Amino acid sequence: MSIVDDARSGVITEEMRIVARQEGVTEDFVRRGLAGGHITIPVSPYRKVKICGIGEGLRTKVNASIGTSTDIVDIAMEVEKAKAAERAGADTLMELSTGGDFTEIRKQVIANTTLSVGSVPLYQAFIEAAINDGAVVHMKEDDLFRITAEQAKLGTNFMAIHTGINWETVKRLRNQGRHGGLVSRGGAFMTAWMIHNEKENPLYAEFDYLLEIMKEHEVTLSMGNGMRAGAVHDATDRAAVQELLINAELADKAHADGVQVIVEGPGHIPLDEIEANVVLQKRVTNRKPFYMLGPLVTDIAPGYDDRVAAIGAAMSSSYGADFICYVTPAEHLALPTVEEVFEGVISSRIAAHVGDMIKLKKRDADLEMGHARRDLDWERQFHVAMNPDRARQIRAERMPADTDGCTMCGDYCALKIVNRHFSF
Ligand code: SF4
């Protein structure tokens, strides 16, 4: 019995109770969300994790992706990134290594985090084919499913699986023309494999077999977004919408089979298309949890893409996205450092909160901060702050003579002046 089966038969599990407590909703609200496919709680029979609910009516969650590349393989650094992401308040972690010993890296990352961990099994399958057989297009279908099951047994809680790329999707990608090409590694690997081998995507063709693996190991299926736009000029194009439609149909099937599902979304989107993307995604997937990758709302700010993505993430969360994949300042430039991972998580958490202020009307912390600022109560301000250490550090570096106010206005602190004459 999966957690979805439990929810359908009216059973409230410990995970549902924890999510209800965390979110301030009823246990039955969580149960109904799971039964209807609107809420997901990534779990694993192989590992206990910090429980985290994702979906309708719940706080917007933030994922941090880490992992090696072929150029930089430093397991200790990836472990530090995992710890930094958790310290910064990430809700989940994706381990997306593409270089080094995949199993060893994943084991060490999993051993050093309490967060739910996600993966993209096809990376390992395609890259091992490139190493052992000379090219990614020589990937063997059996290896793809074997690696998926092996990663599940390591305690992976959710997996991004590129089910929505089939010949229809590829045809639309060809006919569409693109300004920014194809930026999803999974999308690129699979499209190249299909064209070279003249075969259908095995994750689409053998979807029932994939579901058996997901169900056996109780992995949450995160339906990958291999056609996502990599440039704002390609947002919401036919290839991306085609992939979404296929994923939406398969998501219904997965949920009916008792597998938890998340559906991933784009990518790079201009501000005025974000609402349409969220509404479309929620509508065609029957309100499955929506995992938004960014979105980046402009392409011309490399070095600041955490902020670019935060603008898009705040809007997408406000319209109903449930889960945000962070972006670091190093995006489009290099593998992120530990510090950049930390910054990326904070930027995304701010965005998720801004979205929740609209989506869930969650404004208690902002009210508390308003009062603390009015009362010049600095400890209370730090307590409410998203990153108290940073707030404390900046103030401490530039302390005023009179410690009630701050060095911004010094003797002419508006609050000090008015508080002497006025009681709010
Ligand atoms: S000095 Fe200016 S910025 Fe600082 S607390 Fe007073 S009013 Fe606010």
Q: Which of 264, 268, 351, 360 lies closest to 313 in space, CA to CA? A: 351
Which residue among 373, 404, 407, 409 has the greatest number of ligand 1 atoms within 8 angstroms of its CB, and so is best to mutate?
A: 409
From start to end of 49-113, where are the E strands?
54-55, 61-66, 92-95
Query: 353: helix, coil or strand?
Result: helix
Alpha carbon of 123 to ligand 1 centroid (Å): 51
Atom number in ligand 1 closest to CA 407: 1
Q: Which of 403, 415, 418, 422 to mutate to test the pocket of ligand 1 (most atoms within 8 A of CB)?
A: 415
- Token pair listed for 416: 């000090």
For residue 394 and ligand 1, the question of a CB distance below 6 A is answered with no
HEC per residue, 388-420: HHHHHHHHHHCCCCCCCCCCCCHHHCHHHHHHH
Ligand 1 contacts CB of residue 186 (under 6 A): no
Distance 421 CA to ligand 1 centre (A): 16
Report which secondary-structure segment, H or E, holds 151. helix 141-153
Q: What distance in angstroms lies between residue 138's CA and the mean position of ligand 1's atoms?
A: 63
Supply the pTM of this predicted model: 0.96
**pLDDT tens digits for the chain (424 residues)?**
899 999 999 999 999 999 999 999 999 999 999 999 999 999 999 999 999 999 999 999 999 999 999 999 999 999 999 999 999 999 999 999 999 999 999 999 999 999 999 999 999 999 999 999 999 999 999 999 999 999 999 999 999 999 999 999 999 998 888 999 998 999 999 999 999 999 999 999 999 999 999 999 999 999 999 999 999 999 999 999 999 999 999 999 999 999 999 999 999 999 999 999 999 999 999 999 999 998 999 999 999 999 999 999 999 999 999 999 999 999 999 999 999 999 999 999 999 999 999 999 999 999 999 999 999 999 999 999 999 999 999 999 999 998 899 999 999 999 999 998 988 8
Minimum CA distance residue for ligand 1 atom 4: 406
CB of 135 shorter than 6 A to ligand 1: no
CA of residue 365 to ligand 1 center, whole Å: 20
Angle, helices 27-36/14-23, rounded to nearest 10 degrees: 110
Residue 412 C-alpha to ligand 1 middle, in angstroms? Answer: 8
Reply yes or no on domain 58-359 having CATH 3.20.20.540: yes
Q: Please tell me the distance between residue 422's alpha carbon and the centre of ligand 1 in angstroms.
A: 16
Task: Tell me if 406 CB under 6 Å of ligand 1.
Answer: yes
Minimal-distance CA residue to ligand 1 atom 6: 413
Q: How far is the CA of 389 from the centre of ligand 1 (A)?
A: 19
Q: Is the minimum distance from the CB of 409 to ligand 1 under 6 angstroms?
A: yes
Question: What are the residue ranges of CATH 3.20.20.540 in the chain?
Answer: 58-359
Q: Where are the alpha helices (DSSP H) in 25-90?
A: 27-36, 75-88
